[in-house]
Amino acid sequence: MVERPGIRRARRRLLAAGASIALAAGVAVATAATSRAASQAASQGPCDIYAAAGTPCVAAHSTTRALYGSYSGSLYQVRRSSDNSTLNIGVLSAGGYANAAAQDSFCAGTTCVITVIYDQSGRGNNLTQAPAGGAAGGPDNLAVATAAPTSLNGHEAYGVYVAAGTGYRNDHTSGIATGDNPEGEYAIFDGTHYNGGCCFDYGNAETSNTDTGAGHMEAIYFGNIKVWGYGTGAGPWIMADMENGLFSGQNAGYNANDPTVNHRYTTAIIKGESNHWSIRGGNAQSGGLSTFYSGARPNGYNPMHKEGAIILGIGGDNSKGSAGTFYEGVMTSGYPSDTTENSVQANIVAAGYGSGGSTGGGGLSPGSRISLRATTSCCTGDYLTHDATDTKVVISSITSSSSSTVKADGTWIVHAGLANSSCVSFESANDSGQYLRHYNFELYLNANDGSSQFAQDATFCPQAGHNGQGYSFQSVNYTTKYIRHYNYTAYIASDGGSNAWDSATSWSDDTSWLVASPWA
């Protein structure tokens, strides 16, 4: 790295001591949190509750925790790009939380994707990369393993971050409901990560990967598309994908009883039996469940013709324009009672999504306030900030002793990407309507003028950090370039090139950023 200009150099010397103290305090806090995060085995999981009620799980998927009190197997598998090796990620103890530290160690310095989400029910209904279908070619993309960090009662874990084009499937299942047989489904989603694409689903679908007609699916949908059905407000809504229709009630189109549900962690339920089905939902962090619909099937959907495949992140015909984040979900044999589901909801709340731990904050969820900290060894006390003297974006030291203005300059509000809602855009926390955007490959803070060009210049797609830490942010319209600090100024840069800021030296470090708690 090259020494910053004089004015920033002086500022750095004045704040160096404070930064060291703040960093030392942060390490101490993190160490204490880690020591408290001992493995805790659950006495029972959601699938134990379903089994006791006579509606056992026939598929149980989670990348965050065991869904049975006795489960001690693998939750999911990751593959790293450096050598294509794979690793199964299990639990810290029977019935416990994911061993995320094993993933962190295995994926350090490279990018990992989730290749398998294992079925904990023992039936082998694992989810793997979705193949092509009638609506879109394949195979689909795999989720970046570090793109959806979370925590459960202080334990680090990762969800499945579905960007458009990502999908998982199993067309050869065991025990999943077919025909008009009853079933229940629940899933935990990130209620702030969604779009209007078709279709972010989890549940029962066609075995042929094609649209075989009305009633051949029964899956949970989450998003704000309005083509087939919708509810009150702007969405997102929990709806049922029954093929050739997303239903928010008995009738196609608008149903007033299906509300917008956008809790950071959302419990979504769809269940169905002969000529009867229900939508239920709630906050996965607190409280109980509400029933948004319970009644007869839509016209043309009685009887049902379910085929028994399982999908995640896509529609039954491999429609893959959707976005969302999945943490856990199950499918049952039989129609669970509301009482049973209420007990499952209590178990979910007790799991403590988003409580404690370094990954459980707002993260990159739309609406979150964050700061972005550099990871290069020279600059670990520096944050991405807009310069007070002009519109340029730089990195600068921020500590607890910094002024309120400096802290606000280094704080950003996350939005769904202006040009691609599967990605992100960053609005200044103290300059409303001003966004981080690139112009001539340098980063500036500019007002959103509503143009397509601005939207593209202000949209960045998060990927696993190039140096194994945090995230790297890919420009949506220059896909070989990522947000980088160089000589303490921010650019979008490629790994080698004609511009000085494209230097290959420390590129991986300079393009990797930690999502930190907001300074303001």
The residues carrying an active-site annotation are 243, 317
DSSP secondary structure string for all residues of 444-470: EEEE----HHHHHHT-EEEEE-TTSSS
Cβ 95 vs Cβ 43: under 8 Å: yes
CA distance readout (Å), 312 to 167, 323, 340: 6, 11, 24
Distance CA 216, CA 317 (A): 11
Residue 350 to residue 491: CA distance in whole angstroms: 44
Q: How far is 114 from 116, CA to CA, in rounded Å?
A: 6
Place of tokens 């956008």: 262
- 103-107 CB contacts, 8 Å cutoff, 24+ apart: 103/78, 103/145, 103/146, 103/158, 104/156, 106/78, 106/80, 107/78, 107/80, 107/145, 107/146, 107/464, 107/468
| Tokens of residue 325, six digits | 């984040």
Tell me the C-alpha distance between 9 and 488, whole Å. Answer: 10
Element (H, E) at 12: helix 6-36
Which tokens go with 106?
């295995």
With 0-12 CB in 10 A as exposed, 13-18 as middle and 19+ as buried, what is 128? Answer: middle
Report the C-alpha dihedral over residues 143, 145, 149, 151, rounded to 10 degrees.
120
Contact status, residue 456 vs residue 476, Cβ threshold 8 Å: yes
Cβ neighbours of residue 184 closer than 8 Å, sequence gap 6 or more? 50, 55, 269, 270, 271, 331, 332, 334, 335, 336, 341
Yes or no: say if 173 and 243 are a contact pair by the CB < 8 Å rule. no
Distances 232 to 236, 242, 261, 294, 439 between C-alpha atoms, Å: 9, 20, 10, 17, 39
| DSSP 8-class letter at 495 | S
The token pair that represents 38 in the structure block = 């001992």
Instruction: Answer whether 89's CB lies under 8 Å from 76's CB.
Output: yes
Give the separation between CA 411 and CA 414, rounded to whole angstroms.
10
